[in-house]
Structure 1
Amino acid sequence: MSDGGAGVTATARVIARTDGRGGTSLPVLDGEGPLALRRVRSAGSGAHVMIVGAMSGPLGGDRLAVEASAGTGARLLIGSAAATLALPGQAKGEARYDVRLTVEEEAELYWLPEQLISAAASELRTTTRADVARGGRLVLREEQVLGRSGEETGRLSSRLTVRVAGRPVLDQELNCGPDAPGGWGGPAVLAGLRNVGQLVVVRPEFARNPVTAGPLGEHAALLPLPGPAALVTAVAPDALRLRRLLDEAAQTLNC
């Protein structure tokens, strides 16, 4: 971890491997700065890791990253103990939060953090990239809350990229807040709502039996991706209803 006066630079790393006894070990579990990592009890044979906020962040000028890898046959679930709150901070410039996920053959990775909240006057750019090998499984959930109660949103740029067996199946970007390209709050994007989320599911069986595109209630939609994957996008008037929509979608997809 470094702090040169222009923000904190920190990377958290998780590597999961099979332990040879039907379980999953964590040979690498290394957190830095605001990204503390804790292994918690798991109900099954997989490993369950929580990201615990050890400091405020991301603040202006911070450069934070999470790198997680599930090796062949391993099962890894990563969550967070609380929402991530983007704040303006004292340093000038936008903050960065980059997530890199790797899923090897016959492995499973669940990326299920709590919401990302974009507070007023903050500037944050996030990128999430998942690379899934043939036969790997991924469940990825992202939720963005644009402003706390009674305040305007900060500036938030969010890019999500998923590759399966080396081929891109999803590459999308959302820009919201002050100075963002016009129309992000209009009927074609968020329709005036301030909570948006995505659920990406990669499963080998989707190659044989792809999901059927269609609405999931009034504010969510299911879309098959060009590969063994599916995307759910949802918007909602509050974070609780957004989570409910994504949980219901996960049940529909048997996650």
Structure 2
Amino acid sequence: MLDATTTDCRLQRTRGRADVGFAKGRLTHLHQQGAAKAMLPRMHGRWPEIVFLNTAGGITGGDRLAYSVALGEGVQAVATTQTAERGYKSTTGTGRVQVHLSLGAGAELHWLPQELILFDQAALDRDITVEMATDARLVFLETLVLGRAAMGEHLGRVHLTDRRSIRRGGRLVMLEPLRLRPADLTRPGTAGLNGATALASLTLIAADAEDHLERLRRILPNTDVSAAASAWGGRLTARFMAEDAFPLRRAVAEAVQILTNQPLPRVWQL
């Protein structure tokens, strides 16, 4: 309880960690702490589905959250989030999120979280690392929405650093550092966002990744959403940009189903 003479009000901050592991077709560990939760709903596809949740409802300055998935040899699973994550306005400090994904020999993971929505004056650092065996298979999605369109929000000040790295057989095969600053929101042309408020990156890491390129390109949209895809060296990546999140979500959902040949996670809303 604060008394009338208190001058330094320390705000309560969120802490949370959720770790899930599968091996030999069964759950081997499930750890939940604080605001981070992991749910395992009844299967509606061919594989187990892991649904992560932040019970705090979003992330603000000073929050710390960590999530991990570990798949043993030959395990196949889907991981997603119950809803879009929200980066709230920060009055002090930066929120931090760490994600670690591990895939054993012959394992396959579809990492399909819903969007990260940044509110005006959000401050967030996120680090996503993947360690996968040479013959493992990964579908990896990240989607970013800038502002709340329904409220007519335009970001005037925002801080985001987002580092994504994937190692396959111990070798770095993808490194994507993203730093978003206010000037980037209005920069025109291919060097900037050119008015886009919704962005997505969808990657397949697999021995046959290049084989899926033409099929994926055939369904990429040419109106409402700017999209392109390329493939090389066991990696296929598609990028999406749009002025509105809804058409982007529909385009990404179609592309995800091309690469996974599975139904979308049940918690997704289209």
Letter in 2 for 1:200: T
Q: Take 1:71 and 1:119, find their aligned partners in 2: how far apart are those partners?
A: 37
Instruction: Report the TM-score when normalising by structure 2.
Output: 0.81
Alignment correspondent of 1:12: 18
Greater helix content: 2
For the Cα contact (< 8 Å) 2:90–2:123, is it kept in 1? Answer: no
Q: CA deviation at 1:67?
A: 1.2
**Could you list the runs of 5+ residues in structure 1 that have no partner in the other structure?**
19-23
Instruction: Report the TM-score when normalising by structure 1.
Output: 0.85
Answer yes or no: is 1:186 the counterpart of 2:225.
no
Answer yes or no: is 1:164 the counterpart of 2:141.
no
Greater strand content: 1
Q: CA deviation at 1:151?
A: 1.5
Alignment correspondent of 2:72: 71
How many residues were matched structurally? 242
Check 1:64–1:166 CA distance in 2 against 1; reply closer, same or farther (3 A cut).
Answer: same
Alignment correspondent of 1:84: 85
For the Cα contact (< 8 Å) 1:87–1:120, is it kept in 2? Answer: yes
Q: Take 1:14 and 1:124, find their aligned partners in 2: how far apart are those partners?
A: 24
Q: Take 2:259 and 2:27, find their aligned partners in 1: how far apart are those partners?
A: 28
Check 1:160–1:44 CA distance in 2 against 1; reply closer, same or farther (3 A cut).
Answer: same
Larger Rg: 1 or 2? 2
Letter in 1 for 2:106: E
Q: CA deviation at 1:251?
A: 4.0
The alignment-based identity, stated in percent, is 28
Q: Take 1:50 and 1:83, find their aligned partners in 2: how far apart are those partners?
A: 12
Q: Deviations over 1:4-46 (max 9, x none)?
A: 957333221111112xxxxx22221222222111110113553
Match for residue 198 of structure 2 among 195, 199, 202: 195
Letter in 2 for 1:220: A
Query: Secondary structure in 1 aligned to 2:209?
Result: helix
Q: Take 2:212 and 2:253, find their aligned partners in 1: how far apart are those partners?
A: 20
Q: Take 2:202 and 2:36, find their aligned partners in 1: how far apart are those partners?
A: 23
1:212-251 equivalence runs, <5 A:
216-218=220-222, 219-225=226-232, 227-251=233-257
Q: Deviations over 1:175-233 (max 9, x none)?
A: 2243x6x57742113221010011111222237x47469793341111214x3221111
